[in-house]
A and B are shown apart, each in its own frame.
Chain A
Amino acid sequence: EIVMTQSPATLSVSPGERVTLSCRASQSVNSDLAWYQQKPGQAPRLLIYGTSTRATAIPARFSGSGSGTEFTLTISGLQSEDFAIYYCQQYNNWPPYTFGQGTKLEI
């Protein structure tokens, strides 16, 4: 099973800032990496798939990069609606799919 590790667990930021979230895989997942956003009481929403491709209707301020075992999600110009929990997930080697433990963005 591939273990996904996200850092940091919590990130305190301010609106307008640029923030980078990290995700590391215990073995290579090539580019099969997705990012999801989850707000309290809501379902996860797909932001990025294939490491760097934005999903439908996702704003350009969200960008993903990386390959192999190291990945990042960057949010440029944080907006109030971006405060949420972000999960990375690998889909290169399943079952099982595995998720990181999440990074919480807070003000």
Chain B
Amino acid sequence: EVQLVESGGGLVQPGGSLRLSCAASGFTFSHYWMSWVRQAPGKGLEWVANIKQDGSEEYYVDSVKGRFTISRDNAKNSLYVQMNSLRAGDSAVYYCARVISAWYAYDYHYYMDVWGNGTAVTVSS
């Protein structure tokens, strides 16, 4: 069974840092792009970052560029996001998700299929 389990969330003061982890099992982790997606309380979904299978490419939403760093350890089947200079607006449940790379129309198309249950981050003094 494909499973993603996030951890590392909690309460942090504005300006502080936090590192979230996502443990993957049930599939060959190194074969997949991975994503972080967040959801503020009572709000919709917001994509945060993507990382390529070998970690050679990273992409971020503008609001976290320069503050968040996505990374992975394929030997440990784990995905991470290092979050620095945290703001109240970063408070959310953070989900990791597996990304499917589908080839059609002469190109790759990337969508998320399996999601973890999330870990909550609260940024408050």
Which residues in A have some Cβ–Cβ distance to B below 8 Å?
A: 30, 32, 34, 36, 38, 42-46, 49-50, 55, 87, 89, 91-92, 94-102
Q: Is the CB of A44 within 8 A of B45?
A: yes
Of the 9-residue stretches B12-20, B79-87, B102-110, which lies at the interface with chain A? B102-110
Q: Are B105 and A94 in contact (CB under 8 A)?
A: no
Chain B nearest CB, measured from A67 CB (Å) = 12
Q: Are A49 and B47 in contact (CB under 8 A)?
A: no
Minimum CB distance partner of A44 in chain B: B115
Q: Once the chains bind, are B62 and A91 in contact (CB under 8 Å)?
A: no
In the complex with contacts A50-B102, A94-B59, A95-B61, A43-B47 CB distance below 8 A = no
Question: A43-B117, A95-B61 are contacts. A49–B44 as well, Cβ < 8 Å?
Answer: no
B46 at the interface (CB under 8 A from A): yes
Interface residues on B, range: 20 to 34
Of B45, B102, B118, the contact of A87 (CB 8 Å cutoff): B45
Does B114 touch A at the CB level, under 8 Å? Answer: yes
Residue B44 contacts which of A55, A92, A100 (CB distance < 8 angstroms)?
Answer: A100
Please determine whether B47 and A96 come into contact, CB atoms closer than 8 angstroms: yes
Are A43 and B115 in contact (CB-based, < 8 A)?
A: yes
Residues of chain B within 8 A of A30, CB atoms compared: 105
Q: How far is the CA of A91 from the CA of B111 in the complex (A)?
A: 6
CA gap between A97 and B33 in the complex, in Å:
14
Q: How far is the CB of A35 from chain B (nearest CB, A)?
A: 11
User: Given A44-B95, A96-B61, A96-B62, A87–B44 Cβ distance below 8 Å?
Assistant: yes
Q: Decide if B116 is an interface residue (CB 8 Å cutoff).
A: yes
A69 to B116, CA, bound (A): 29
Q: How far is the CA of A99 from the CA of B46 in the complex (A)?
A: 7
**Cα–Cα distance between A99 and B35 once the two chains are bound (Å):** 14
5 smallest beta-carbon distances between A and B, as pairs: A97-B47, A43-B115, A95-B59, A99-B45, A91-B111
